[in-house]
Chain A
Amino acid sequence: MREVYADHAATTAPAPEVVEAMRAHASRGRFGNASSVHRRGEAAREAVEEARGRLARLVGALPEEIVFTATGSEANNLALKGVLAAAPAGRTRIVISAIEHPSVIETARHLASRGVPLSVVPVGAEGILDPAAVAAALGPDVALVSVMWVNNEVGTIQPVAEVAALAHAAGARMHCDAIQAVGKLPVDAAGAEVDLLSVAGHKFHGPLGAAALCVRRRTRLVPLIHGGRQERSRRAGTEDLPAIAGLGVAAERAAARLAADAARLAGLGGRLAEGLLAAVPGARLNGDRARRVPGIANVCFAGVDGEAVLHELDLLGVTVSTGSACSAGSPGPSHVLRAMGLSAEDAHASVRFSLGGETSEDDVDYILEVTPAVVSRLRALDRPAMPGRASGVR
């Protein structure tokens, strides 16, 4: 049976050169603690700095602005809590969009439960934030605005630079969760004038366990993990050298392939979306048709349970998700699709296909071959959309 992995937005397989770099650093003779003074520790430190430079180049930052973390969720937690704790007196409010990743939304909600005022800005039916709506939410009490570069469920691109300009005009800091954008689009932290930017290696063929928060100069931040002077005292803990080295290699690889991959994926993703809409009666593409990353197609197959589609496709070798992996198995429909105005039933009927660097024309053909039949079979069962479980992993 053909195996087609179409869940790249959840996680991507580490590239062979990434695995090789990790293996080289994990092997015996290279296990120094980067904080130790002996020569092995010295070599480990150099490897960490090399990776830092590579990642900085990919995201338009300076090497010293990169703070390595374990996960993208940690980077998002650090951005919100760290900036808030360092904010000047009188600036206590956080502004986020309604379609942020759970690691931003739940952190903001948690802070709200401890008395931090929170404004959640709605998005339009196309899944894109209107800068005017952000402007309306701003005020002299805002410490931080957090808006993602690309939405993880529907792939829509947000007006980050415009929002950053508005945030700065109001005297607030700007954080951008760019986890779904890096490696897929040109991301330039300096150009977009964001103050903080989150990146996760495993979304662009880097390793799990290595991510970063880019903290641009003159951005004050209180660390969440303290003790030890690693990462210029902004994140304590012995550096995960193999993973960090792997992240550096993945960053360099992504930078080299970005333009070619994006063009190829635009072709494949466009063909997939158009093909599904044409072949499945009543299918609708969730999110703006133009302002999106090329590889993600989130499609509503009205009248079926998206999770049933997922399992049926899985048995046919096609790996997809409902919503995002990060919310897989959680009750309730996708907060992103609901924020875009979909009914709970339509949100439950939606499936995310996300393509990546190794996806081929044949893979897309296979998805287009099997999916319409799966949907019509499920519709024939005349089962109502199942409430309860929806929405998948990021």
Chain B
Amino acid sequence: MRRQVPLILCFVFGIVMIFTQFIPHSLSQSLHQEVRQWYLIIFPFALVFSSIALIRTHVMRIRRRTEHWRYSFLIFIGILMMVVIGVPFGPQHHVFEWLFNNVQVPMDATMFSLLAFFIASAAYRAFRARTLEASLLLVTALIVMLGNVPVGDLVWNTVFAWLPWENATSGMKQWILDNPNLSARRGIILGISLGVISQSIRIILGIERSYLGGGD
């Protein structure tokens, strides 16, 4: 009941979704649509539950007085600010939009912009041409960085004005992206896709059961 039924459900729903995609009969298509609707009904519950689970984690942090536990209260203030306006009036309410644009947006954008500083620092300290492979990575990165910005072509067109190739910096970058980069990426895509397909088959057949978690 605790493990067998979920395995059967997974198998039945998985098989239905595979076969109904290949059978154009109206009955098959209706079944496909019905299962799709079931998925769309169930899925939001999972998302709301995951949010509640995260709130619970912070309640536990406060209860157990873990490091920086007092800051967890700020999480509840943040949640309350959004939920008090958003749940009764909807996300279209101008106060909700104002909070999003003036509180969430600047913090989110700034948090990720910190990486610009750390990338520069790490590049200076660790980006070394120690081996042939590392040199390839480094040279490619430098060409792409230079080719991405207008100063790359400006310098080339000024310094190498006597050469017949205009905008060669961005041209080199484009060639790298279109050829060796494409090959490497395609190899990765093929590898990942074969992995996704085999994993999906294992899940449907009940060989892969990690989603059931531990216990009975």
Q: Tell me if chain B binds chain A.
A: no
Residues of B with Cβ closer than 8 Å to A?
none
Residues of A with Cβ closer than 8 Å to B?
none
